[in-house]
Structure 1
């Protein structure tokens, strides 16, 4: 799983970042080629592009995350209720993934983007109270999920 995801996502362009009202700190990031949806989404909170298109690779993050540069933190999952600050998440859009590291013991992910930006995902969901995985990564042929206590779900 680790090597597959690292290879699949590296050198892909970040095409979309979906966040905002009704999602709390959950974010969805699309990478690679844009694909027209067969049926548009009807969520009024989404842009027309997000309603009508998906991407070849989708990463949905439920656990804690942060966006940083090499010397400062720009934004974190706790900022989800601060609309002005959350707009900073758009800095990932249209940037190329230049590196991916997945910790084999925790499945935490560090994605490096062009322009000295990093997305760090820290798996912190340790019980099923919230009924969420830490994150789910969708490709055309596979779904990779990291669940409770950083367990890889097949």
Structure 2
């Protein structure tokens, strides 16, 4: 099985998982980290009081570290996106509160670029776009799974560690 096929198979496993953690906002720029599936207790908990208890004390079964443009929307309005202000009590925070605790009901992630769209049980979508203008790196997002970390780059290149 080639890397892209292995990646696609792992991404499909997000369907049905609980979305229990998200990190982003002040101090992270537009980068966000998402946590799904089982929670595995960390050997050493984070001391960062800005994190939820779940994120501070657990590692996820599946995770996404998103460095490229992203958007959270409900099909009618954009709730928040990487282009919004990430200040405390800004749109990031209110959007994050709406998605935590939902389940992933659909996953779309196809060649050639591997943009991703996650449908959530409350009707909200998280969309990830493998593009950027003026980026100084080529990695769009990383996807952590029990098999390892997949990195998705511009133009659909996928690598696994």
Aligned to 2:27: 22
C-alpha change, 1:140 and 1:43, in structure 2 (3 Å) is same
TM-score (norm 1): 0.88
C-alpha change, 1:2 and 1:153, in structure 2 (3 Å) is closer
2:65 to 35, 60, 66: 60
Q: In terms of mean alpha carbon deviation, does 35-44 or 100-109 score higher?
A: 35-44
TM-score (norm 2): 0.84
| Secondary structure in structure 2 of the residue aligned to 1:16 | strand
- 1:89 positional shift: 2.1
1:106 counterpart = 2:110:
no
Aligned residues: 153
Give RMSD over aligned pairs.
2.0
User: Structure 1 stretches of 5 or more lacking a match?
Assistant: none
Equivalent residues in 2 for 1:128-139 (5 A)? 129=136, 131=137, 133-139=139-145
Aligned to 1:49: 54
Equivalent residues in 2 for 1:1-154 (5 A)? 1-83=6-88, 84-87=90-93, 88-125=95-132, 129=136, 131=137, 133-154=139-160
